[in-house]
């Protein structure tokens, strides 16, 4: 939810999210859930009950980063979880209309990246910041990196964009391992701003990598706190009964 990259691969893509969080915050590993008669797949925050990255069988991905365009104090308390917005976007057919209509008072600022490939591959950036919503359509064939505004200032974001360009975008024949190595890099800059970061109160606790290639959708979940890797091949292989 704090360092996110998108790399197109022909008709497919590699979408990867590093979650920077307090190590003591409990998380439930990725699993299938059925909501509004749809089959979803996502890891779950045990404290607030929401998620930072999720998939829908309707060929949609939504990933949330803390903060909008500007820094806000992450210690401030808000009454509603941002993570619940992710499942709302995944379960509503017209998610752009849903975002415009959804009531966000009491929800902390966020950036939500939505990738939809049901017909043609489309990617959007939905931002809630300073009480205003903004929707931006991005180029689906353009690699992107996002960094949370609650952890990285504008200068650091620009530096990380340069790292991404050099380490991933400019590499010949971008492969899954190239992207994974970038997200697991602890040495770029310093440990506090590297893709896999570590500070006194927060660190990269997991990496979720979603790969769509051919007709297969897979998820690899790297749990650094428990030193394990969970692999989920063909996430939606079983047809859901309606």
Distance, in Å, from the CA atom of 97 to the CA atom of 95, rounded to the nearest integer, reads: 5
- Averaged pLDDT, 63-71: 77
Q: Is residue 238 pLDDT above 70, yes or no?
A: no
Amino acid 141: pLDDT:
96
pLDDT tens for 70-104 read 655 555 554 456 667 899 999 999 999 999 998 88
- Cβ neighbour number for residue 159 with a 10 Å cutoff: 16
Q: d(Cα 202, Cα 35) in Å, to the nearest integer?
A: 31
List pLDDT tens digits, range 173-230: 889 999 999 999 999 999 999 999 999 989 999 999 999 998 899 999 999 999 999 9
Query: For strand 144-147 and strand 3-9, is the pairing parallel, antiparallel, or unpaired?
Result: antiparallel
pLDDT of residue 240: 40
> What integer pLDDT is reported at residue 25 of this predicted model?
84
* Structure confidence by residue, pLDDT tens digits, 1-37: 689 999 999 889 999 999 999 888 889 999 999 998 8
| pLDDT value for 81 | 63
- Residue-level pLDDT at 215: 84
pLDDT at 173: 81
Average pLDDT of span 135-156:
94
**DSSP state at residue 239:** P
Chain CA centroid to CA 30, Å: 13
Nearest 5°: phi and psi at 175?
Answer: -125, 170
Q: pLDDT value at position 45?
A: 87
pLDDT of residue 78: 45
List the Cα angle 153/83/160 in 5-degree steps. 25
Average pLDDT over residues 125-129: 92
């Amino acid at each position: 939810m704090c360092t996110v990259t998108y790399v197109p691969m022909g008709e497919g893509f590699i979408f990867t999210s590093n979650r920077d969080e307090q190590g003591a915050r409990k998380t439930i590993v990725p699993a299938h859930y059925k909501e509004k008669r749809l089959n979803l797949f996502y890891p779950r925050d045990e404290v607030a009950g929401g998620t930072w990255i999720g998939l829908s069988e309707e060929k949609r991905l939504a990933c949330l980063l803390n903060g909008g365009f500007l820094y806000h104090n992450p210690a401030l308390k808000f009454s509603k979880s941002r993570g619940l917005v992710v499942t709302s976007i995944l379960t509503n057919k017209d998610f752009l209309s849903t975002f415009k209509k959804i009531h966000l008072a009491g929800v902390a600022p966020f950036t939500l990246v939505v990738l939809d490939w049901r017909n043609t591959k489309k990617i959007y950036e939905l931002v809630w910041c300073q009480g205003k919503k903004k929707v931006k359509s991005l180029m689906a064939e353009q690699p992107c990196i996002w960094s949370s505004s609650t952890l990285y200032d504008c200068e650091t974001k620009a530096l990380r964009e340069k790292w991404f360009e050099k380490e991933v975008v400019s590499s010949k024949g971008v492969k899954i391992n190239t992207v994974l190595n970038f997200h697991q890099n602890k040495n770029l800059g310093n440990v506090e701003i590297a893709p896999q970061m570590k500070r006194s109160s927060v660190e990269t606790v997991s990496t979720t990598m979603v790969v769509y290639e051919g007709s297969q959708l897979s998820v690899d979940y790297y749990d650094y706190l428990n030193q394990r890797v969970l692999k989920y091949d063909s996430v939606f292989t079983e047809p859901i009964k309606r």
